[in-house]
Amino acid sequence: MTRVLVFDVNETLLDLRVLDSTFERAFGDAAVRRHWFALVLRNAMTLTITGDYEDFIAVGAASLDMVAAQHGVTLSEADRHTIQETMGNLPPHDDVLVNLERLREAGFRMAALTNSPRDAAVRQLSNAGVAPLLDEIMSVETSGKFKPARVVYEMAATQLGVTTAQMRMVAAHDWDIAGAMRAGCAGAYLLRAGMVLNPLYPRPDIVEADFYRLAARIVEVEKGETS
């Protein structure tokens, strides 16, 4: 059985570091960008745990307000607009396009699964040149829950016409991999810079520090081929 490869989008495929200059200007510290996005994810997960749902873009805006309040910063409308527009025009990481091409040539069916609304995700992935390499672009909005809720991965499997056991989630977030594995998927964890695997989460059979090795391992494991 060759599994469908399902990719997370933000930080896994697309590079948020292009926002650093805006956060440096607005907050005096580019590292606030990482604080902001971590808060976005925390707030999204909290909404799901408490039984609520808001558009991921709205979660991002609310989280930006929280970070600004924490730092005593009054954000200009220009900076807010720049952050929103940049999120819609994130570049792919340098290793993404070549390895998606490699996996496509190896015969894999590939999809994206993101917390972002589908229209926003299509825009992001099209602008980044990633969309043509994917067979499906899926959003959690269909389920009304954010990752890593089990129902999200089950929803994705239904949309793809497969079981969760026929999916492999590829992400740079260990919580995303953990949620997918608990739902019955296989996982492939991409250790982007600064990422580590939580020892309390199930360990996927593929863990690599760059996309080149990760793609090679996926081909080896799924196709029984070495490269």
The pLDDT tens digits of the residues spanning 93-146 come to 999 999 999 999 999 999 999 999 999 999 999 999 999 999 999 999 999 999
| Cα 71 → chain centroid | 27
155-196 pLDDT per residue, tens: 999 999 999 999 999 999 999 999 999 999 999 999 999 899
Q: Is 86 exposed, middle or buried (0-12, 13-18, 19+ CB in 10 A)?
A: middle
* Nearest alpha-carbon partner for 113 in 88, 140, 132, 83: 140
Query: What is the pLDDT confidence band of residue 23, given thresholds at 50, 70 and 90?
Result: very high
- Whole-model pTM: value is 0.96
Question: Which pLDDT score is estimated for 226?
Answer: 59
At 45 the pLDDT is 98
Instruction: Supply the mean pLDDT for the chain.
Output: 96
Q: β-pairing, 206-208 with 167-171?
A: unpaired
Position 68 scores a pLDDT of 97
24 in helix, strand or coil?
Answer: helix
Q: What is the DSSP letter of 202?
A: P
Average pLDDT over residues 72-98: 95
Please report the domains of the chain, with CATH numbers, ordered by start residue. 4-15+90-223 (3.40.50.1000), 16-87 (1.10.150.240)
Gap between the Cα atoms of 112 and 43, Å rounded:
22
Tokens found for residue 158 = 């239904």
Alpha carbon distance 82, 11 (integer Å): 18
Q: Tell me phi and psi for residue 171, to 5 degrees.
A: -155, 160
Crossing angle between the packed helical segments 20-27 and 77-87, to the nearest 10 degrees: 160
Helical residues (DSSP H) of 75-115, grouped into ranges? 77-87, 96-105
pLDDT above 70: residue 227 = no
Distance CA 49, CA 43 (A): 10
State phi, psi for 198 to the nearest 5 degrees: -65, 125
Predicted pLDDT of residue 223: 87
pLDDT band at 1 (very low <50, low <70, confident <90, very high): confident
The DSSP letter of residue 166 is G
